[in-house]
């Protein structure tokens, strides 16, 4: 059979509330309309991840369902998502904004530590790959990986400084020429480049947080572009807030 693509958007709408409310409105009148009507007492899930992956009754649904039920849930998801969101648009919008901001605040590296629980699952399902897993996983002190705390603090400090430097360049004086002719080409290109990077970070936060589930690893995979931008700006501009910036491209040309 073809592989099942997990219904991430459905899990998000159920956890945020609109999907669960819609099921509670529909299922009493038509119990056979949606497969999830059979699991109505276990909704809403704690979060989207619990709905998709949790094996314990009362916490997860999708991974515990039979193969036939899983495929039915996937087929039916948009028939549930669209009317649920239309019925409760402000609830979904508030949840999307909240989860996007939650994602923006998550960019640590602690999720890259393989917990002993995950190792046990690998040992059960993929015993031949266990040696490779042990060679590639990050070491941790016990289950919580406390040694990562100073790493995250260091990263947070670097990130905060980088954001301040990028903001300083975007809000810099002197972008308009004295004769009123507008920003010079280098300054405009630099501004467009910075806005593109910031827009990418924001878009990633929306896709990951509002459409899936906020996780540190989702932020960590893109947040490095801001320290990179700050480092390039520092190399290209001396002094930092010059009224007539020469621009990265001009410096590179030299």
Place of tokens 């308009």: 176
- Model confidence, pTM: 0.72
In this structure, are residues 209 and 102 in contact, taking their beta carbons and an 8 Å threshold? yes
In terms of pLDDT, which residue wins out, 201 or 113? 201
Tens of pLDDT, residue by residue over 65-87, are 899 999 999 999 999 999 999 99
In this structure, are residues 159 and 217 in contact, taking their beta carbons and an 8 Å threshold? no
The angle, 0 to 180 degrees and rounded to 10, between the axes of the packed helices 8-16 and 89-104 is: 110
- The residue among 171, 165, 190, 153 whose CA lies nearest residue 240 is 165
Cα separation, 85 vs 91, in Å, equals 8
Q: What is the reported pLDDT for 241?
A: 47
In this structure, are residues 233 and 123 in contact, taking their beta carbons and an 8 Å threshold? no
Cα separation, 63 vs 41, in Å, equals 16
Section 38-58 average pLDDT = 85
Bond into 44 cis (ω within 30): yes
Residues of the chain with pLDDT > 90: what percent?
Answer: 38
Residue 152 has pLDDT above 90, yes or no: no
């Amino acid at each position: 059979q073809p592989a099942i693509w997990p219904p991430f958007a459905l899990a998000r709408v159920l956890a945020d509330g609109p999907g669960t409310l819609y099921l509670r409105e529909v299922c009493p009148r038509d119990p056979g309309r949606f497969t999830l009507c059979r699991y109505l007492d276990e909704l809403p899930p704690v979060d989207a991840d619990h709905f998709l992956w949790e094996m314990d009754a009362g916490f997860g649904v999708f991974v515990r369902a039979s193969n036939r039920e899983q495929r039915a849930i996937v087929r039916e998801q948009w028939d549930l998502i669209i009317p649920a969101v239309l019925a409760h648009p402000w609830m979904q919008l508030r949840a999307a904004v909240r989860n996007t901001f939650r994602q923006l605040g998550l960019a640590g590296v602690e999720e890259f530590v393989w917990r002993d629980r995950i190792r046990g699952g690998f040992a059960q399902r993929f015993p031949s790959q266990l040696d490779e897993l042990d060679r590639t996983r990050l070491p941790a002190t016990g289950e919580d990986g406390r040694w990562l705390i100073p790493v995250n603090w260091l990263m947070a400090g670097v990130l905060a400084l980088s954001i301040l430097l990028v903001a300083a360049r975007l809000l810099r004086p002197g972008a308009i020429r004295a004769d009123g002719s507008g920003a010079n080409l280098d300054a405009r290109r630099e501004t467009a480049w910075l806005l593109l990077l910031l827009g990418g970070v924001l878009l990633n936060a929306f896709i990951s947080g509002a459409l899936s589930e906020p996780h540190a690893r989702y932020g960590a995979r893109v947040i490095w572009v801001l320290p990179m931008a700050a480092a390039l700006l520092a190399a290209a501009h001396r002094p930092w807030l010059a009224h007539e910036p020469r621009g990265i491209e001009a410096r590179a040309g030299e």
